[in-house]
Structure 1
Amino acid sequence: MSLVHGMRACGLAVLLGVLGGCASAPVSVPAMSGDAARPAQASGWIRSELYFAVGNEDGSDRIDEARWREFLDHEVTQRFPDGLTVIDGYGQWRFREEGRLVRQRCKILVVLHEDRAQHRADIEAIRQAWKQATGHESVLWSRQPVEVSF
Structure 2
Amino acid sequence: MVKSLRIFFTAAALLLTLTVSAAAQVSLQCSGEQKPWMVAELLFGRSHVSDAAWDRFLATEVTPRFPDGLTVYDARGQWRNPQTKTISRERSKVVMIAMPPADDSQARLSAIIEAYKTRFRQQSVGLIVRPSCVSF
> Scaled by the length of structure 1, what TM-score is found?
0.64
Aligned residues: 107
Name the residue aligned to 1:42: 35
Flag the 1:122–1:96 CA change in 2: closer, same or farther, 3 A.
Answer: closer
- Distance in 2 between the 1:138 and 1:88 partners? 18
Decide which structure has greater helix share.
Answer: 2
Higher alpha-carbon Rg: 1
Corresponding position: 1:149 with 2:131: no
Q: Does 1:72 align with 2:58?
A: yes
CA distance in 2, matches of 1:149, 1:101: 38
Tell me how large the CA RMSD over aligned residues is.
2.0
Work out the CA distance in 1 between the residues paired with 2:82 and 2:114: 27
* 5+ residue gaps, structure 1: 5-29, 32-39, 56-61
Q: 1:147 to 1:137 in 2, by over 3 A?
A: same
Equivalent AA in structure 2 for residue 76 of structure 1: V
Give the match's secondary structure for 2:41. Answer: strand
8 Å CA contact 2:39–2:130 kept in 1: the answer is yes
Name the % identity: 36
Query: Structure 1 stretches (4+) deviating beyond 4 angstroms?
Result: 94-99
Question: Residues 98-120 of structure 1: CA distance to partner in whole angstroms, max 9, x if unpaired?
Answer: 55321111111100101134111
User: Do the aligned partners of 2:45 and 2:77 also contact (CA within 8 Å) in 1?
Assistant: no
Q: Note the residue ranges of structure 2 that are not aligned, 5 or more in a row.
A: 6-30
CA shift at 1:95, angstroms? Answer: 5.0
Q: For each residue in 1:48-107, what CA deviation from the matched residue of structure 2 results, as whole angstroms up to 9, or x when unmatched?
A: 00011102xxxxxx1111110111011111011111011111022345775532111111
Match of 2:113, SS?
helix
